[in-house]
Each structure stands twice: as C-alpha cells, then as structure tokens.
Amino acid sequence: MIQSLLYPRVTETRRVISLDGMWKFQFDPASKGVEENWTKGLPDSCSMPVPASFCDIFTDKDSREYTGDFWYETDFFVPGEWKDNEIVIRFGSVTHRARVFVNGTEVGSHVGGFLPFNVCVNDVVKYNQYNKLCVQANNELSETMIPCGATATLSNGKKISQPYFDFYNYAGIQRPVKLLMLPKESITDFTVNHRITGSDAEVDYVVETTGQNNVLVEVYDKKGNKVAEANGKTGTIVVKDVKLWNVHAAYLYKFVVKIVDGDTVIDEYYDTIGIRTFEVKGGHFLLNGKPVYLKGFGKHEDADIRGRGLDMVTVKRDFELMKWIGSNCFRTSHYPYAEEVYYMADEEGFLVIDETPAVGLMESTMNFLAANQGTGKKVTFFEKETTPILLEHHREVLKDMIKRDKNHASVIAWSILNEPETNHESATPYFENLFDYAHELDMQKRPRTFAVIMMSLPHTCKCWQVCDFVSLNRYYGWYVMGGYGMVDAEAAFRKEMDGWGAIRGERPFIFTEYGADTLPSEHKLPSVMWSQEYQKEYLDMNHRVFDSYDWIQGELVWNFADFQTTEGIMRANGNKKGIFTRQRQPKDAAFHFKERWDNLPIDYKGEK
C-alpha cells in the first residue's frame, strides 16, 4: 500500500469515521502481549482516552513514569457498502513505536512518534460487523531514532526513560485515529508551488494516483466560485486577480482534485491552500516579495493532564493569545505538531517554522557517561557506530514531515535539527546530507535552518554554513552571567554577535530561543532571578542587542507557555520560561511583549 499522508477529507468518493474516544489500555512491562495473544483483546485493561498522553492521567508515579510496551484496544464497525474499496486506519501519531493488529492479524507498524501513518485492513476486516483493533506501542528512547535518549533499568527492575532533551517524554496515541474508505483508484499525493505574475498567480502542481485515468484540478474562491482549472497529473494553473495569503490576512482557496473517466468521478480530494511566496533574499525574509520581521515563540504541544494529546480547546486558546500579544510566527519545537495546528495557522495567517524531532543529538553531561561508559574513549555524537542508522531514520522523518506539510501557506521554513553538536568536523556530512535532501523533497524550496546551541560559536561551529538563515538559541543572562552579572552578559552577547556579523555574508539571523525561568508568584525589588522583575530586565537586555543589528530579522522567545519536563534540580515542576503559564494565563512579561510587538511594524528592519 502507498503511504499517503493526505489529511482525511469526506468527499463524493471518500468517507471518514473517527475512532477517537475511550479505548482499553494496559501496560506490558514484560513484553509478553504478543506471545499471550493480547492481539485479540487485552486481559486486564483500564479505560483510556484517545487522543491523549497516558502519563498525567494516572495518580501513581510508576504509571506516570512508565517506560516499555503498552497496549490499546477498541472495536470498530465497517459498513457493508464499503466492500470492494480500500479500508484504511489512519493514526495521527503513536509515540514512539507502534504495531497494529486487526482481528488478531498484524496489519502494519511504524517508528517515529510525531507523524501520521496508515494501515490497510481490506483483507482482515469483517463487513457489517464490529472488528477488533489492538495497538502495541512503545515509548523507549535510543540513539538510533529521534528524539534521542536512552533507556535504563532501576534497581527494582523498572525501566526509566533518560531523554537527551529538556521536555517530558509524553507517550501514547496522542493524535486522532480515523477509519477511511477510499476508492481502489485514488489520489495519494498533491503538491503545489506558487509564482506571482503581476496581479495573477501561476500555481504549478503535481498529482500522484494509483491508476492511469485522467486528473482534473479545480480552484474555488471563498464564495465558492470556480476561478481556475487544469487537466493532467502535472501542469500549471493560472489564478487571475489572485488574493494572496498574508500575515493575519489569510485568504484560502479550495483546490479540488478529481480522477475522472469521462463524466464519471472515480476519486475526489480537496484541500484549502493559501497562495503566497516566501524567500530569503538580501538578508531579509520576503513574503510575497515584501520584508517581514519574525516575532513570536518557540512552543510545545503541552497541557495539563492531556500532556501532548491533541486538544482543540487549547490549540484555539493558544492562537487567540498569540494574536492578542502581537506575534506573527512560531516554531514547532521540537517536533512536527498535529496537522490541525497547521490548518489553523493557515486560517489565522501565522508563519510557521516546521521542525523535525531531531533534538538530543549532542554529547552532554546527561548522556556522555552513559554512551561511553567503560570504553575509555570519547567519541563525538556523529562519530558513533549507530550514526548511519540514526541518519536513515532522520531522513525518513524529514521526508514524511515535508510530504505532510508542504502545501501549507503558513509553513515558511524547515528546521532540521535543534541544538545538535556542531563543533566537530564529523557533524558536517550528516548536516549536508539532510539539508540537500530537504531541498530535493520540497517543490517550493523553502529556506532551511537548524537551531544552534549556545556552545556553537562563530569560530567553532562547523555547520552553520548549510543554513539559508541562521537560528540561534542564546541564554546570556540566564544560564551564564545571570543576576547581577547582567552587564557582563550583554557585553559577551554583543561580542558574539560581532563575530557572526563578520562572517555571515547575506544570511539573516533569528533567535529561536532566549528566555528566563520565571515564577508567576515571585516578585522582588530589586530583582532576583526567577522573579517577574528579573524576567523583564533580561528581556530588555536581549531586545537591546537584537535592535542593534539590522541583520537580526526575528525573535522567537522561549517559551510560549510553561511546560512539563523530566524532574530535576534545575526544574521546578517543569520549565518556567513561559510568557504565559501552563494554564494559558499571562505573566507580567506578556504585557511587555504586547507593547513591543504591537509597535514593531511587519517590515521592521526591512529595506528602506
């Protein structure tokens, strides 16, 4: 079966049934489920909502911290009239591995916790009857998949996750599950690229199908009027008097793709697409040929109780807060988000830097000893024997992310890694492979970047040159030279920026992380670290630096909202760098940002 990543749509030829709701759930610490036929039903289950992370639902620590195999089960009904079509189960994501069984038969598997996958169940379902769906999942971390980490065993025999990253390893069926009916001859992919020609737009397109029949593409405006059409699996559509998609002024066309045999429609699919161009040129970001300054957030899919489970109430609240504060951009740190988030960004006119789950690709205090224990030899992260396996998985995830998200007007760039190790030459071929692959995959040739960790400086980083624009994560005044040492932090910050300015060429720079942990209850005069007063002083210093360099073209503060992390002495029940609390209420800094961003024009530092 061809792995189509098209978002599920109900059309003349397609049907979609949600399988979300309360499923059965059971831990499998001994990995005995397959051997004991849990594939046909769980022997001692509890109820569990889908979609959701399982972790924070429980009240005991063993369940919250559980690492290993775990199972889900539900029943689904297949209508008899669907016979002789393709019957597909689509998972929005299962973190981090999944094996899928229908009526006791394995029908597919997937590795990677943040992207969709399909399983075809034609040969195993019973029509006009209920069928049993069982999923064996696993949330263990390793160095051969992203995000990177390790799995250890405690003295009591229980496994524990050791993430090489600073956010909680939430797991489960975290995004919607849907039952699809598709025609045997169907549309499997649809790709567009836009050019503006005066008052019109030319849209190049490619349609992929499972058959040889003709393809028709139609374009409709918001009022439902057909404004353009074309025949064939590839071609160019001319949209006259085009209404361009823009920041906070989104206009979406409806693209309808049909496989036709004469007057018969064999398959029909549609998507909502904004027509726009985006490029890096002359040290600026150009949206529809005009400069745009990026202002916004690094975010997380993270909320109370739900963990990383998709919750549209939280998604909507986040967009309302981002509009209120005057932002126009966010990064999907540190993994691709649920598809519904991108569609909302399309509708609201937000710019999105889309990031792979490639976080934890570095040696640090937390993982160096585990990786090199007993060997007596230090190797850099990209010199390991496992690196080729990791690269293969990384390429697969990058391919699926671009395939899924390539038509979104909101997606303006690909972030291919976050805070990797880059101070050794061994990293360079790994980066070049991925950056070249991203360009090959993307018909729109979006700019590519990665988030550069603070230890990677102008004279030490071996990989920044692969970027179309450079993204810096910097914490002068927090992790280094904090508190009363703020004056030294600003001086060191400016020294580094002068170093980048001397070698950057025409590349624009943005800040994808800067921030200070802040407790909303903490006030102190004069300020101390963790107080709201200190957060404001820290932000003021950073913004003074940003405003001093014309080639700094964006500021994405870390983080939009407080979020959960693994427990530790540096974290007070999670990361508290949020401009909003985890419950989506403003800290004092939110009003500070609103005043700044409301007064920064969209073309701030643009060409005069």
Interaxial angle between packed helices 532-547 and 588-598, expressed in degrees from 0 to 180 and rounded to the nearest 10: 20
Spatial contact of 246 and 258, defined as CB atoms under 8 Å apart:
no
Distances (CA, A) of 83 to 12, 17, 372, 449: 16, 15, 55, 46
Spatial contact of 323 and 248, defined as CB atoms under 8 Å apart:
yes
- Determine the 3-state secondary structure of 518 from DSSP: strand
Amino acid of residue 286: L
**Rounded Cα–Cα distance for residues 296 and 512 (Å):** 9
Pairing of strands 509-513, 552-558: parallel
Distances (CA, A) of 10 to 7, 273, 295, 396: 10, 17, 36, 28
Copy the structure tokens of residue 457: 């400086």
Active site residue 73: no
Interaxial angle between packed helices 588-598 and 312-325, expressed in degrees from 0 to 180 and rounded to the nearest 10: 60
Spatial contact of 334 and 401, defined as CB atoms under 8 Å apart:
no
Closest CA to 329 of 560, 583, 585, 577: 560
**Rounded Cα–Cα distance for residues 164 and 143 (Å):** 9
Find where tokens 């029940």 sit: 573
End-to-end CA distance of the chain: 53
> Who contacts 500 (Cβ-Cβ below 8 Å, separation ≥6)?
458, 470, 509
Find where tokens 């909680």 sit: 168
Instruction: Please classify residue 194 by burial: count the beta carbons closer than 10 Å to its beta carbon, then call 0-12 exposed, 13-18 middle and 19+ buried.
Output: buried
Neighbours of 290 (CB within 10 A): 14
**Rounded Cα–Cα distance for residues 214 and 208 (Å):** 11
Supply angle C-alpha 84, 89, 92, rounded to 5: 150
Copy the structure tokens of residue 217: 């593409």
Neighbours of 505 (CB within 10 A): 7
Supply angle C-alpha 576, 580, 582, rounded to 5: 65
Active site residue 513: yes
Copy the structure tokens of residue 206: 């490619």
Q: Could you say which of 65, 268, 363, 419 is catalytic?
A: 419
Spatial contact of 477 and 536, defined as CB atoms under 8 Å apart:
no
Q: Could you say which of 339, 363, 513, 555 is catalytic?
A: 513
Copy the structure tokens of residue 177: 């599950």
Amino acid of residue 328: N
Closest CA to 265 of 210, 188, 185: 185
Amino acid of residue 552: I
**Rounded Cα–Cα distance for residues 384 and 379 (Å):** 7
Instruction: Kindly list the catalytic residues.
Output: 419, 513
